[in-house]
């Protein structure tokens, strides 16, 4: 098994890939108006950091129960933060209100072609580093990362992993369209309130399967990565490994497998509690 360690990227996750690609497509007028985004934290940090690199004004909508560590990190990159939303279920309504009022350009966390193309560079690097890869296992929230990797690796088996407590893509695949979900996993980086329309269509077209892992399985995988691989990942980043450890993916034992470890942004208290438990 190989690990694609995206927690070592700037801001601690894969998210700057999609953000930088999105920013590169903005017009002069859009850049002057500034950018806006909604996120539990990893996308927010990436937008704040990348906007600072580009000299752009950024407004990030998070929610009151978001990780304090991720809120502080986003502020540290120089962005303004709006915390009026009570949770992820309503943050996109607030986003549309402020976007209309300010004229800022939206940098979508998972649903835009630009974001998906940027995240697809993870797949290109996997193909370069592990050319004989048979299977890529990917954490899934709104679907931007897995749809980008699936597009970059059209002939490779891709399996997505969602927490039992956060099933935006599973619900969308069952309904044939994005539907709202109540996402409450410890893997907060995957707690998307709905799946993206374009990621959904890409997964449908490829026939990509999604498997589910519970909170205990996520915790066990996070401990394994910390103790054995020396990777201080966040719960969301451990979900791909959790699926393999729990035997959720048939035929993985005989395959050349790459697990994407998507991020490392976790509150100290959360990490300590998971690492101390058994």
List pLDDT tens digits, range 193-232: 999 999 999 999 999 999 999 999 999 999 999 999 999 9
- For 65, residues 6+ apart whose C-beta sits below 8 A from its C-beta are 86, 87
Tell me whether strands 135-139 and 2-5 are parallel, antiparallel or unpaired.
unpaired
Residue 259, pLDDT above cutoff 90: yes
* CATH topology match: 2-12+116-276 vs 16-113: yes
Greater pLDDT, 255 or 133: 133
Per-residue exposure over 225-254, b if at least 16 CB sit within 10 Å of its own CB, e if not: bbeeeebebbbbbbbbbbbbbbebbeebee
Mean pLDDT of 39-63: 94
Residue 89, pLDDT above cutoff 80: no
Q: How many CB atoms lie within 10 A of CB 20?
A: 17
CATH topology assigned to domain 16-113: Rossmann fold (3.40.50)
At 87, the pLDDT band (50, 70, 90 cuts) reads confident
Residue 239: C-alpha distances to residues 24, 48, 181 (Å): 31, 26, 19
Cβ(9)–Cβ(264) under 8 Å? Answer: no
Determine the pLDDT at residue 40. Answer: 76
Q: What is the mean pLDDT of the chain?
A: 95
Determine the pLDDT at residue 68. Answer: 85
Whole-number Å distance between alpha carbons of 266 and 218: 13
CA 84 to chain centroid, in Å, comes to 22
Determine the pLDDT at residue 254. Answer: 73
CATH assignment of 2-12+116-276? 3.40.50.1100
Mean pLDDT of 52-62: 96
Give the start-to-end residue ranges of the domains of the chain. 2-12+116-276, 16-113
pTM: predicted TM-score of the whole model, two decimal places: 0.94
Instruction: Say what percent of the chain tops pLDDT 90.
Output: 87
Mean pLDDT of 146-168: 97
Determine the pLDDT at residue 109. Answer: 95
Determine the pLDDT at residue 253. Answer: 72
Mean pLDDT of 98-116: 96
The helix-helix angle for 197-206 and 168-175 (nearest 10°) equals 70
Determine the pLDDT at residue 278. Answer: 72
Determine the pLDDT at residue 69. Answer: 83
Q: Residue 60 has what DSSP assignment?
A: E
Instruction: Say what percent of the chain tops pLDDT 70.
Output: 100
| Bridge partner residues of 61 (DSSP) | 38, 82
At 267, the pLDDT band (50, 70, 90 cuts) reads confident
Q: Which of 132-136, 230-234, 252-256, 261-265 has the lowest mean pLDDT?
A: 252-256
Q: How many CB atoms lie within 10 A of CB 80?
A: 14
């Amino acid at each position: 098994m190989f690990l694609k360690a995206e927690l070592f990227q700037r801001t601690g996750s894969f998210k700057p890939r999609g953000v930088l690609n999105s920013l590169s497509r903005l017009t002069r007028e859009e850049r002057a108006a500034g950018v806006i985004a909604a996120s539990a934290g990893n996308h927010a940090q990436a937008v704040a950091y990348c906007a600072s690199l580009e000299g752009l004004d950024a407004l990030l909508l998070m929610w009151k129960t978001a990780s304090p560590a991720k809120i502080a990190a986003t502020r540290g990159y120089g962005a303004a933060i709006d915390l009026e939303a009570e949770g992820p279920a309503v943050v996109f309504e607030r986003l549309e209100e402020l976007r209309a009022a300010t004229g800022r350009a939206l940098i979508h966390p998972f649903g835009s072609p630009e974001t998906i193309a940027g995240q697809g560079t993870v797949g290109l690097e996997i193909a370069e580093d592990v050319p004989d890869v048979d299977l890529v296992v990917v954490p899934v929230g709104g679907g931007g990362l897995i749809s980008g990797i699936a597009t970059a690796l059209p002939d490779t088996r891709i399996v997505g992993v969602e927490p039992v407590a956060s099933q935006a893509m599973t619900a969308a695949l069952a309904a044939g369209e994005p539907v709202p979900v109540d996402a409450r996993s410890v893997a907060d980086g995957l707690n998307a309130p709905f799946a993206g329309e374009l990621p959904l269509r890409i997964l449908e077209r490829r026939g990509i399967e999604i498997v589910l892992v519970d909170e205990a399985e996520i915790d066990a995988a996070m401990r394994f990565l910390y103790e054995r691989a020396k990777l201080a990942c966040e719960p969301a980043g451990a979900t791909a490994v959790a699926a393999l450890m729990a035997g959720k993916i048939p035929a993985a034992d005989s395959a050349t497998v790459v697990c994407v470890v998507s991020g490392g942004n976790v509150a100290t208290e959360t990490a300590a509690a998971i690492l101390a438990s058994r």
